[in-house]
Every structure is written in structure tokens, then in C-alpha cells.
Structure 1
Amino acid sequence: MIGRLVLFGATGDLTARYLLPALAALRSAGHLGDRTQLTCASREDWDDGQYREWAAAQLGRHGGHLPAGARDAVAASVRYLRADVTDPADVAAAIAGDGPVAVYLALPPAVFPRAVTCLHQAGLPAGSRIVLEKPFGEDLAGARELNRLLGRLVPEQAVFRVDHFLAMTTVQNVLGSRLANRMLEPIWNSTHIAEVEIVWDETLALEGRAGYYDRVGALKDMVQNHLLQLLCLVAMEPPITLGERDLRDRKVDVLRSVRTLTEDDVVRRTRRARYLPGRIGDLDIPGYTEEEGVSPRRRTETFAEVELELESWRWAGTTFRLRSGKALGRDRKEVAVRFRSVPHLPFGHSGEALPNVLRFHLEPEGLTLDLTGIGAHAHQLTALSLTARMEPPGLPAYGRLLLDVLHGDPALSIRGDEAEEAWRVLEPVLSGWAAGLVPLEEYPAGSAGPPPRRR
């Protein structure tokens, strides 16, 4: 286990909301001790005391459910450095020390190439690891170049392109439900499944993240990485093991099987939109272009939807719809597997059998199976729903990922060829949207999104 962690971007939203609480959770569970060295680096001209005060406040705000002793221990153990990740001398000072180091780049993707170059110039100790947040690059060419730079720095096994969705309990349960239940795997194919909808709709608006989000948008922020990862777990062939090679090989197979979208497909099978002023609960929400730090000229989307088809024996004929939107009227975060209707009903005119739907709820975590059954009157059909709630995970998703990094297990990180294939899938969408083939629709904040398209 690596005993040193250097975190660049240590005053950002990702660190405050997720990484510091994840470290406290690891401390509370006994995975981190006093000998673990934590160096936090950012551009703010602070000293150790100022950063520790800030870290303690963020841990109280975002990790208040964790034991106070663990939060205090993490905040007190931090060493802070003012550093520019694009300055080789600053980078060398941050990673200086004995033995291998895990370097976490909690930074915007545009900074990755320069940061990796500086790490190469500084010279990482043997056995070190590097962690990069999504999205990995900004397009296919950028991902290929970044992979080339990383290959000069460390072996592929030491590169952790993390996506915390893969460590969520319910996401892991997609594989568990498929592969550990005899009744599901035989019908997990296009003969029985008509459509899979992978959705991350949230009531959350921009929340001060314009500096990052306005340069990325919903397609790159959510669909290109998180939702495509969920697609891989839903559609992959059963791996021999859940080891990093077997699991990641099968995920790459899924991405390679996605049919390349034509310009006509982009027009018919993709949508983009952004929110107008509206109301969510008791809050008045300004329109996206009125948010501080947003440039209307970028025409950044806050809603993205893409329909994909897989050219494989198992999935030919099934539609995979990936959708994500901000500032919507309700949170809906799930994988919905819609089965085909039964071929015949012997109940006369006693009602309609709705298609069975298996829903993997991502937040809050749970599982629901929608069925059709008999109601109070004989032969009268009625809707039934079976629901299961998951036990709270032992570690938060980022805690699991950080532990994998420290132990050197890349199974839940994204391999280089996988990152490139994900961009390959969406390159036609990016090009088509840039060319204006798909209009930028609008929807009021607090609504269900843009009006449904007539099919």
C-alpha cells in the first residue's frame, strides 16, 4: 500500500465535497493511519493552518455524518503547499519525498496534458500512481494524446482514470443481479428486453460550477463517461472473473460494438437543451445563461439525450437511451430495463399488461421490479411493484476508489483503450452539434425537460 498521497486541486469543489470526506471515511474504517502522508496543493496563498481550517469546515459541511475524530485527524494531518500544477518546480516540490507516491489530479481536463508533462519533468519515483478525474480529455484526439503522455510517465497499470459511478453499490449490483441470479441472465438479451434507459436527471442547477461546467456541458460531463460506463455494465458479456483484465476487456467489447452514428442518426437520435428561469421547490432559479460565469456564446447544453444501438448477437434490436439533465423538476437517477410485452393475454378485456421494468435506483440506492398481477376482482389486471433497499455501503464511492488507488487495484478504473472508445462513440454527436445539425432547445427550470419528441 502506498503511504503518500499528493492531491492537486486541493481547494476545489471535488476535494471539498468528496475527497476529504472519503479520506475521513477511510480513516474511520481503519484503512488510513498516522503514517499516511497527505499533501494538498493548490494556487491559494495559504499556510498549513489556513488550509487545515478550511478542510475542517468542508468536512463538517460535507462529512458531518462521519465520526468527529476521523474528520479532525484528516484535517490535522494535511500538509499544504501553494503550487501551480503547470510549473515543473512546484510539482517537483509537491511530490518530493521517500518512496512511491499516488498523485491525484482533481483538475479540469484541459489542464491534464500540461500537468502530466510537468510530472514527467519532475520525475515520479518508481512504483508511483497517477489518478485523473473525468472527463478524460476533451475529445478523441485529446484522449489519444493524453494516453501517449501518460505512457511515457508510468505503466498503464499505474494509471487510474477514475469514475466514482463504478464504485457505487447499486452500480455494482447491476452485475450482481445479472450474474448471480439464474432467472435473469437467460433473458438478458434483445429477445426479451426492448429498451434500456440510463438516466441521471437532477434538480441541482449550476451551483457555482460555471468555471468547469460551461466548458464541458451535459454530454461530456455525464454521458461520455458516467452513463457510458453504466451501459458497459448492463450490456457486457459475463466476464470470467471481476479482475481488472477480464472486467475491462468485456467493457471495451461493449463500446466497440456501439454502431457509429451517422449525421442522420445525430439529427434523429440525439437532443440537447438548456434551462430557462424557473422554480424548483421554494427556490427561484435563474436561466442558465444568467448564471454567473456562463458565456451564452458557448451554447453549452444542460440536458443531453442520445439513443444508441449495439451491433452484437445479444443486443441487436434493443435501444439504449442515455439521458442527463440539470435543474429538472425531480431527481431521477436510475437504470431502467424495459422488457418486451407478453405475446398473448388470456384475460379478455380485463385490462392491459404493462411491460415489466427492472429499475436500479442510483440515488437513493435500491431496486424495483414493476410487474402486472391480478387485482381484487378475478382476472382484473393491476400493476404491482416489488422494491428492495440496499444496505448503506461500508465506504462511500470515492473512499472505495481511493483505497483501490493506494492498494494498486485498477479494476474499477478506466483503461486507456476504453477511454478512447468512449470518445469514438460520441465523436459524431460532438461534430453534429458543433455544426448546428441539432437545435439547442430550452426548458423551464423545475420542469420535466424539453417537450417529448414525436416519434
Structure 2
Amino acid sequence: MITRLVVFGGTGDLAARYLLPAVSALFAAGHLDSRFEMVCADRKGRSEAEFQQWVAAQLDHHAADTPVAARKATAAATRYRRADIQSSEDVAALLPDGQPVAIYLALPPALFPAAVTTLHDAGLPAGSRIVLEKPFGEDLAGAEKLNRLLAELVPERAVFRVDHFLAMTTVQNLLGSRLANRVLESVWNSAHIAEVEIIWDETLTLEGRAGYYDHVGALKDMVQNHLLQLLCLIAMEPPITLSERDLRDHKVDVLRSIRPLTDADIPHRTRRGRYLAGLIGDRGVPAYVDEQGVDAKRGAETFAEVQLMIDSWRWSGTNFVLRSGKALGADRKEVAVHFRPVPHMPFGHQGVAAPDVLRFGLDPECLSLELTAIGPTVNTLKPLTLTARMDPPELPAYGRLLLDVLHGDPSLAIRADEAEQAWRVVTPILAAWSRNLVPLAEYPAGSAGPPRSGR
């Protein structure tokens, strides 16, 4: 197990909101001890006292549910170093003893190629691991170039292209529900399933992330990685094991089998939009273009929807809808599996039933099944919903990912060919949108998104 984690961009939002709480949770669960060290590096330059005050404030705010002892252990294990990721001398100074280290690039994706080159020049110790946040590259060509650079630095098993969605409890339960229950796997195909919705609708707005979000938009931020990853787990064939090779081979097979969208398809099978000023509940929200740091000329979308088909024996004829939007009227974060209606209803005119729906709630994490049951009178039907709440996980998603990095288990990481195949899926859409084949529709904040008639 690697005991030293170096985070470049170590005083940014990712470290504050996710990595520090994840380390605290690992201490609380007994997965880390006094040998562990987390070095947070950036170019700002601050005293150790200032840094420790910042760490304590972030832990109190973002990790308040972990024990005080775990937060104190995290603070004691964390230190600050001023370093420029593009300076091989600065990076080498963080690797003084030649022992394997985990390098976490909590940086804008545009800096990844330069960062990887610097790590190569600095002489990264053998056995070290590299962690990259999504998106992996800024387009298909960028992903291919980045993968070539990484291959020159470390073996593929030492590259962790992390996606925290894959470590969420409900996502893990999606696999369990599918693969450990005969009743579900027997109907998990296009003969029984008409449509699968993979939705991440949120009432949150930009929340100060213009520096990142305005350069990527909803399609790259959510669909190209998070939602396509969920699609892979839903649609893949049952693997022999959940080991890194079996699981990742089957996910790549799904991406390869997604039918490419043509220019003729895209206006009918995609939507994009950007929010206007409006009300979300009783909260007034400015238009996206009026948010601080936004350049309206970039045309970044805050709403993206894509409908995909999979050309495989199992899924031919099933529609897959992937959607993510900001500043919407309600939060909806789930995978909804819509079953086909029964072939015959023997209940007469009173026997009207909606098709069954199986929902995997992502936030909050829950599982529900919407069925039809017999009503109170003869030959009448009524809806019935069965709901189960998931047990709270031992670790938050980032805690699980960090533990995998430190132990060297890449099962939940994205493999190089997987990252490239995901870009293959969205590249025709990005190209068509750049030519305005699908106009950028506008929708009021607090609404359900852009109207479908605008496609």
C-alpha cells in the first residue's frame, strides 16, 4: 500500500470538498494509520499555519459527520508545499526518498499533458500511480495524446482515471441487483425493457464554477463520462468476475456497440439549452450568461440530452436517454428502467395499468419499483410503489476511490481505450452542435428545461 499522496491543486475545491473528507473517512474506518502522508501542493505560497487553519475549516465544514479524532488525524497527516506542476525541479523536490507515491492531478484538464510531461522529467519513482479527474482530455484527439504520454510514464494499471459515480453505493447496487438476482437478469434485455433513462437533473446553478464549466458545458461535464459510465454498467453483458480486466473489457464492449449518431440523427435525438433568469423555489437566479466569469460567446450549454441506441443482441430496440441539466425546477438523479407493457390485460375497461418502472436513486440513494396492483373493487387496478433505502456506506465515493488508488486496484478506474471510446460517442454531437445543427435553446431557471418542440 502506498502511504504518500501528493495532490497538485491541493488547496482547490476538489481537495476541500472531497479529498480531505475522504481521507478523514479512511482514518475513521481504520484504513489509514500514522504512516500516511498527504501533501497538498499549489503555486500560491502560504505558511504552514495558514494552511492548517484552512484544513481545519474545510474538515469542520465538509467532514463534520466524521469523528473529531479522524479529523485531527487528517490534519496531522496533511502538509503544504509550494510547487508548480510544470517545474520538474519543484516536482522532484516532492519525491525525495525515491519511494512510490500516488500523484493526484486535481487540476484543469488542459494542464494534464504538461503535468504528465513534467512528472516524466522529474523521474517518478517506480511503482508510483497517477490519478486524473474527468474529463480525460478535451476531445478524442486530446485523449489519445494524453494516453500516449501516460503510457510513457507508468504502466496502464498505475493510471487511475477516476469517476466517483462508479464508487457510489447505488451504482454498486445496480450491479448487485442485476447480477445477483435471477428475477431481474432474466428480463434485462430489449424484449422486456423499452427505455432506460439516466438522469442527473439538478436545481444547482453554476455555483462559482465558471472557470471550469464555461469551457466544457453539460455534455462534456456529465454525459461524456459519468452518464456513459452508468450506461456501461446497465448494458454490459454479465462478466465472469468483477476484476479489473473482466469488468473493464465488458464496459468497452458497450461503448463500441453504441450506434454512432449522424448529422441526420442529431437534431432529433439530442437537445441542448442554457438557463435564463428565473425562480427556483423562492430563490431568484440570474441568467447563466450573467453569472460571474461566463463568456456568452462560448455558447456553453447547461442542459444536454442524448438518445442512444445499442447495436447488440441484448439491446436492439431499447432507447437509452442520457440527460443532465442545471438550474431546473426539481432535482432528479436516477436511473429509471421502463419495462414494456404486458401483452394482454384481462381486466376489462377498468384494467388500465402503466408499464412497470425500476428506479435506482442516485442522490438520495434508494431503490424503488413501480408496479400495478389490484384495486379495492373488482377488476380495478391501482399503482403500487415498493421502496428500499440503502444502508449508509462505510466510505464516501471518494474514500473508496482513494483506497483503491493506495492499494493499486484499478477496477473502478477508466482504462485508456474506454476513455477514447467515450469520446467517440460524443464527438459527432459536439461537431454538429458547433455547426448549430441543434440550436442552443433557452429555458427559465426553475423550469423543466428547454421545450422538446424546439428540436
* Range class of TM-score, shorter chain: over 0.9
Deviates more, 1:1-10 or 1:88-97: 88-97
1:60-97 deviation per Cα after TM superposition (whole angstroms, max 9, x unaligned): 11111111111122123212111221222222223333
1:10-30 deviation per Cα after TM superposition (whole angstroms, max 9, x unaligned): 111111111110000001111
* 1:25-424 alignment runs, 5 A limit: 25-424=25-424
1:127-167 deviation per Cα after TM superposition (whole angstroms, max 9, x unaligned): 00000000100100000000000000000000000000000
Q: Is the 8 A contact 1:47 1:81 kept in 2?
A: no
Deviates more, 1:272-281 or 1:302-311: 272-281
Partner SS for 2:160? strand
Kindly tell me: are residues 124 and 264 of structure 1, through their superposed partners in 2, closer, same or farther at Cα, counting changes over 3 Å? same
Q: Structure 2 regions of 5+ residues with no counterpart?
A: none
Query: Aligned equivalents of 1:96 and 1:441: distance in 2?
Result: 54
Q: Structure 1 regions of 5+ residues with no counterpart?
A: none
Kindly tell me: are residues 142 and 308 of structure 1, through their superposed partners in 2, closer, same or farther at Cα, counting changes over 3 Å? same
Query: Aligned equivalents of 1:249 and 1:375: distance in 2?
Result: 46
Q: Is the 8 A contact 2:345 2:351 kept in 1?
A: no
1:151-199 deviation per Cα after TM superposition (whole angstroms, max 9, x unaligned): 0000000000000000001001111001111111111000000000000
Q: Is the 8 A contact 1:48 1:78 kept in 2?
A: no
Query: Aligned equivalents of 2:313 and 2:253: distance in 1?
Result: 12
Deviates more, 1:75-84 or 1:379-388: 75-84
Deviates more, 1:369-378 or 1:408-417: 369-378
Query: Aligned equivalents of 2:452 and 2:211: distance in 1?
Result: 30
Deviation at 1:98, TM superposition (A): 3.8
Q: Is the 8 A contact 1:131 1:161 kept in 2?
A: yes
Q: Is the 8 A contact 1:199 1:323 kept in 2?
A: yes
1:419-455 deviation per Cα after TM superposition (whole angstroms, max 9, x unaligned): 0000001110010011111100111111111123489
Partner SS for 1:443? strand
Deviation at 1:45, TM superposition (A): 1.5
**Are positions 1:11 and 2:1 aligned together?**
no
Q: Which amino acid aligns with 1:347?
A: F
Query: Aligned equivalents of 1:112 and 1:439: distance in 2?
Result: 31
Deviation at 1:48, TM superposition (A): 1.6
Query: Aligned equivalents of 1:68 and 1:450: distance in 2?
Result: 46
Q: Which amino acid aligns with 1:443?
A: Y
Query: Aligned equivalents of 2:112 and 2:454: distance in 1?
Result: 41
Match of 1:425 in 2: 425
Q: Note the aligned Cα RMSD (angstroms).
A: 1.0
Q: Is the 8 A contact 1:6 1:95 kept in 2?
A: no
Q: Is the 8 A contact 1:4 1:36 kept in 2?
A: yes
TM-score of the aligned structures, taking structure 1 as reference length: 0.99
Partner SS for 2:94? helix
Partner SS for 1:207? coil
Partner SS for 1:377? coil
Query: Aligned equivalents of 1:254 and 1:95: distance in 2?
Result: 40
Deviates more, 1:346-355 or 1:116-125: 346-355
Deviation at 1:265, TM superposition (A): 1.1
1:300-347 deviation per Cα after TM superposition (whole angstroms, max 9, x unaligned): 000000000000000000000000001111110000000001111011
Partner SS for 1:81? strand
Kindly tell me: are residues 187 and 97 of structure 1, through their superposed partners in 2, closer, same or farther at Cα, counting changes over 3 Å? same
Q: Is the 8 A contact 2:441 2:454 kept in 1?
A: no
Deviates more, 1:346-355 or 1:301-310: 346-355
Q: Which amino acid aligns with 1:48?
A: E
Deviation at 1:50, TM superposition (A): 1.1
Q: Is the 8 A contact 1:156 1:415 kept in 2?
A: yes
Count, aligned residues: 455
Partner SS for 2:204? coil
Kindly tell me: are residues 454 and 358 of structure 1, through their superposed partners in 2, closer, same or farther at Cα, counting changes over 3 Å? farther
Deviates more, 1:181-190 or 1:94-103: 94-103
| Structure 1 outlier segments of 4+, above 4 Å | none
